[in-house]
């Protein structure tokens, strides 16, 4: 079982990171947007807490920077109909502590912001997971402000008539490379990258 990976950050994308360990082995990890925002610059050392998922056709490592993120991800996978892709999407739309509180408090408005998560599925998720996440409710971690800014940017684009999926993609693109914009600048940068309304 691979539980941690420490090494030099070779590549950081909005949905994946590559790390070269001291032993000369490089690992690629799928990551949520919350993790991307908190990564150091390429070439610096980083340590990921990992969750390893093995399926018939693939084996994938998922990377997190703290136990909160990894724990929430693992518990999401215990719900019926929630696979790694949806769990990662949920953690990219809502930072871990916000997601936990939304599930425990049955905040369906927040949950249905996640692409692919309708009200019926959000209700089923809350029923299955509320008790399993109760111990994490109210927990916060350092580094959340930028994640909250991303969430607000996505909401702003949706208020302008763009779909959840298009808004997520545009904000991700706006975050790539160099110094990531914040606040109104992030919304403007995302608008410059978004396609026509669907």
Q: What is the 3-state secondary structure (H, E, C) of 105-149?
A: CCCHHHHCCCCCCCHHHHHHHHHHHHHHHHHHCCCCCCCHHHHHH
| Residue 198 belongs to a domain | no
- Please tell me the total count of domains within the chain: 3
CB 38 within 8 A of CB 96: no
Domain boundary among 115, 136, 157: 136
Domain at 22, CATH number:
2.40.50.140
Structural domain harbouring 86 = 67-136
| Residue 72 belongs to a domain | yes
pLDDT tens for the chain, 198 residues long, are 789 999 999 999 999 999 999 999 999 999 999 899 899 999 999 999 999 998 888 889 999 999 999 999 999 999 998 999 999 999 999 989 889 988 988 889 899 999 888 899 999 999 999 888 877 765 544 344 455 567 678 778 888 888 766 777 787 777 765 556 777 888 888 888 886 665
125 shares a domain with 114: yes
Domain at 86, CATH number:
1.10.150.20
pTM of the model: 0.69
């Amino acid at each position: 079982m691979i539980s941690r990976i420490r090494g030099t950050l070779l590549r950081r994308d909005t949905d994946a990171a590559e790390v070269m360990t001291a032993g000369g082995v490089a690992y690629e990890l799928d990551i949520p947007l919350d993790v991307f925002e908190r990564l150091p610059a390429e070439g610096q050392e980083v340590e990921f807490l990992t969750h390893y998922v093995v399926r018939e056709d693939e084996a994938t490592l998922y990377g997190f920077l703290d136990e909160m993120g990894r724990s929430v991800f693992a518990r999401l996978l215990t719900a019926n109909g929630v696979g790694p892709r949806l769990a990662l999407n949920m953690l990219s739309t809502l930072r871990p502590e916000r997601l936990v509180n939304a599930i425990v408090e049955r905040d369906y408005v927040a949950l249905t912001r996640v692409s692919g998560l309708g009200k019926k599925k959000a209700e089923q998720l809350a029923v299955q997971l509320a008790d399993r996440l109760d111990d994490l409710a109210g927990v916060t971690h350092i580094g959340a402000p930028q994640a909250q800014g991303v969430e607000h940017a996505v909401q702003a684009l949706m208020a302008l008539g763009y779909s959840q999926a298009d808004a997520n993609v545009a904000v991700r693109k706006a975050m790539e490379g160099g110094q990531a914009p914040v606040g109104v600048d992030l919304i403007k940068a995302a608008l410059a990258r978004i396609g026509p309304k669907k």
